[in-house]
Chain A
């Protein structure tokens, strides 16, 4: 078997395992977070982003992670609009694509209907893409820009004069501080 397939099985398994363990695949937890009633998951997510900022840019600094492994996505109007549409469905169902799959693994029937709906939604976008690709939805909003310097070719940084670890580290620490300050429940 190809080494990439083995890695997919190991890392995918761990990711699914962790999402289940932290409660992210439980729609009750997601909806209570979105209702601003229970910040347990919000604190975990903020901490995870902060920690990953610090770790990733430290590894980049020491050349311990291959820059070609990074993947910066483009910014365009549809990123915000699509985010909003996803947010609507997320609030209604309590699932996002990844956590829906994990919940399916748990045997949840509402996750099964979510996944089936997801297949329809992905198909709809596939079918209408040709009609909407030249509309304002795909108007550029700065391309593949990052805040911190990554040295990924074609990805300019918003703060090019400051070392990446300083910008990303600062953001990371800020996220971690917010994670600690937020109360668990309101």
Chain B
């Protein structure tokens, strides 16, 4: 078992089983896994330290409201989570970071630093400039979270949790994602050395 956990990479079948089981564990004990909403909560917590973004409001379904229409939507559930950031979904994302850290430390041999910020496919196509890669990741981050929040979920919430429950929205999201992502990746990374 220890060797299995320590092994650098699992084959696709073991990976698929582990991934499927953790989504089931989450829904059995609490609720389906979702991540992208917590970026809004994080922004809100920061915003709230500069300006009173959320207020207690006995008239709201959640008990909290906001002048911002997005934070206020759905009875103020985002406002509630911003006011009380020590909640399941928010802590969940920090635990994920810790999980990633721990798993990477268990690895047999450390990856080379260069490889660690520049994926090979990127380096082959766009060269060794780290600045370029960081800029592209930043831009990618803007698009990913803007898109995910517009859609109401991301790869975890819509694609995995959604399709697990056979949600039509999960299928629509996945369709939209791959229809754009596949041609973009093929065109963007074409012509690199292999």
The residues of A with any CB-CB pair to B shorter than 8 Å are: 4-5, 7-23, 25-28, 31-32, 34-36, 40-41, 43-53, 55-56, 59, 64-65, 69-75, 78-111, 113-127, 129-130, 133, 137, 141-142, 144-148, 150, 158, 167-168, 171, 179, 184
Contact between B91 and A8 (Cβ–Cβ < 8 Å)? Answer: yes
**Min distance, Cβ B42 to any Cβ of chain A, angstroms:** 6
Name the one of B133, B144, B161, B167 contacting A118, with C-beta atoms under 8 angstroms: B144
Contact between B43 and A119 (Cβ–Cβ < 8 Å)? Answer: yes
The residues of B with any CB-CB pair to A shorter than 8 Å are: 5, 9-10, 12-13, 15-36, 39-40, 42-44, 47, 68-71, 73, 86-104, 116-122, 130, 133-158, 160-182, 184-186, 188-189
**Min distance, Cβ A130 to any Cβ of chain B, angstroms:** 4
For the complex, would chain B's binding face be called helix, strand, loop or mixed by DSSP majority?
Answer: helix
CB-CB < 8 A to B86: which residues of A? 5
**Min distance, Cβ B160 to any Cβ of chain A, angstroms:** 7
**Min distance, Cβ A6 to any Cβ of chain B, angstroms:** 9
Contact between A91 and B165 (Cβ–Cβ < 8 Å)? Answer: no
A70/B165 contact (C-beta < 8 A), A16-B95, A107-B104, A126-B43 known: yes
A80/B176 contact (C-beta < 8 A), A108-B117, A120-B142, A148-B166 known: yes
Contact between A84 and B144 (Cβ–Cβ < 8 Å)? Answer: no
CB-CB < 8 A to A5: which residues of B? 86-88, 91
Contact between B119 and A28 (Cβ–Cβ < 8 Å)? Answer: yes
CB-CB < 8 A to B182: which residues of A? 34-36, 91
Name the one of A17, A72, A126 contacting B102, with C-beta atoms under 8 angstroms: A17
Contact between B188 and A104 (Cβ–Cβ < 8 Å)? Answer: no
